[in-house]
Structure 1
Amino acid sequence: MTRQFFVGGNFKLNPITLDAKSSLIDGLNNAQLDPSTEAVIAPPAIYLIPVKQTLRKDIKVAAQNAYFKESGAFTGEVSPKQLVDAGIPYVILGHSERRTLFHEDSALVATKTRAAIDAGLSVIFCIGETLSQREANETDKVCQEQLQAAVDILKEADWSKVVIAYEPVWAIGTGKVATSAQAQEAHADIRTFLGKAVSPAVAESTRIIYGGSVTASNCKELATQKDVDGFLVGGASLKPEFVDIINARKA
């Protein structure tokens, strides 16, 4: 099976002005992009609707987070149902910043994932280990534990709505990048786990993308790895080089 290459851009808490947003969107709208790559950008929540209205239709828009309730007294939250109503197809869940800064555990991330899929969203499901966990050779253990919470709550068919983003925490925003061999090893281990925990068909079809200081200079080598199906890009998604990352597999 050929898995469609996927490149997501996580703008995080940037940009902070509509003018900056416009320049980013204009650059993407005018770029020549590989049509075989699925491109998705995740602006801050306040920009989701205006970005969707002005962005070219072959690039999708994702929310950076969502709650697991449809509505209610949950000040500051956005529900999956609201995102679907706004025409937003994707949501990022389980990002390491949500897990560490906002103390979201794997059970909560899984519950959010269940709610998002039930509402009709597709999920970019983030997993990854810290530097101390990597140095203790616990990468597999950590990734499997984070995935197991989702395995326990999802049906086999639900995985067609999930893109797994392996993001080693030690590589996010640090300039440190997993080598292509390290990324491939981690992705292959994740795929093997899916094959045993869910099914061989799900393991084969699920896209596993890499995140962690991906740039135009390192994306092409990473993209050649058998089990690297794309990228979730942070800081570089705010720069012109994001186009080069989307085109990483373009000859």
Structure 2
Amino acid sequence: MRKKIVIANWKMNHDFYETTSFLRSFLRIIFEKKINHNKEIIIAPSFPFLHISNQILQGTILHVAAQNIHYMEKGSYTGEVSVSMLKSIGIQKVILGHSERREFFYEKNDILLKKIKIALKYGFHIIFCVGETDIERNKNQQFNVVKNQLKETVFHCSLNDIRSFYIAYEPIWAIGTGKTATFEQVQKMHQFIRSLFLEKYGINLSILYGGSINENNAKDFFLQKDIDGGLIGNSSLELEKFIKIVQS
């Protein structure tokens, strides 16, 4: 069954106090507002605060995810974090393939495949991001781009492994650019991605939208047939805004 999922990707934001204060306040509001349990809520804080976040949220309906991993189990990789390190503090979910990792840290599909394999080896659930640039969409290549991103990474996995994935569609051209993807454009891409997984694996995955969802447009996006939730960036940093998105 497809889950309804909302993921807060805090990126390089929130210090220790902001992280802990947000999570404790969020839990209190969820309890007070009796937000139901038929959805999955995941928080992806910065690396230094994964452990304390996991401790605060342990035993609740909220889960914690890492924003990245290295593809090696250990070694001389100054500044990197391994999957085994994350697992040792109770983390079991990770975001891979985010557009910012692809653009700013030059993560290509071959690197992402290595990260997928090591994450699966350690039993992680993977939030895998795909999406096209402005140039690619203007050339009407968006479907081929997304299909190729999946073909060179996720589609190397077995049916059993695929059950550990959530897919997040990020139209890169609509993130922080002032341009807005229409509900029709997003729904069409989600439907396309769903058809690829049904064709190859016969499985109906949860597919999330990661393109500048906010408290004002979340409900309309989530009403689309093939959108199962959102990977939220900036709008997840403010408690009131994120609560409204979750309620949507």
Q: TM-score range by the shorter chain?
A: over 0.9
Aligned residues with identical type, % of pairs:
38
| Deviation larger for 78-87 or 149-158 | 149-158
Q: Equivalents in 2 of 1:54, 1:151: separation in Å? A: 32
Q: Equivalents in 1 of 2:65, 2:152: separation in Å? A: 22
Query: What 5-or-longer segments of structure 2 have no aligned partner?
Result: none
TM-score by length of 2: 0.93
Q: 1:64: how far off?
A: 0.3
2:115 alignment partner, SS class: helix
Whether the 8 Å CA contact 1:114–1:153 is kept in 2: the answer is no
TM-score by length of 1: 0.92
Match of 1:105? 108
Is residue 2:157 matched to residue 1:154? yes
Equivalent residue in structure 2 for 1:58, among 52, 55, 61: 61
Match of 2:45? 43
Whether the 8 Å CA contact 1:121–1:161 is kept in 2: the answer is yes
1:209 alignment partner, SS class: strand
1:1-251 mapped onto 2 (5 Å cutoff): 2-15=1-14, 17-32=15-30, 33-55=35-57, 57-196=60-199, 198-200=200-202, 202=203, 204=204, 206-239=205-238, 240-248=240-248
Whether the 8 Å CA contact 1:34–1:246 is kept in 2: the answer is no
Q: Equivalents in 1 of 2:92, 2:179: separation in Å? A: 31
1:31 alignment partner, SS class: helix
Whether the 8 Å CA contact 1:42–1:61 is kept in 2: the answer is yes
Q: 1:226 to 1:163 in 2, by over 3 A?
A: same
RMSD: 1.4
Whether the 8 Å CA contact 2:116–2:154 is kept in 1: the answer is no
Query: What 5-or-longer segments of structure 1 have no aligned partner?
Result: none
AA aligned to 1:177 is T
Q: Which runs of 4+ in 1 moved over 4 A?
A: none
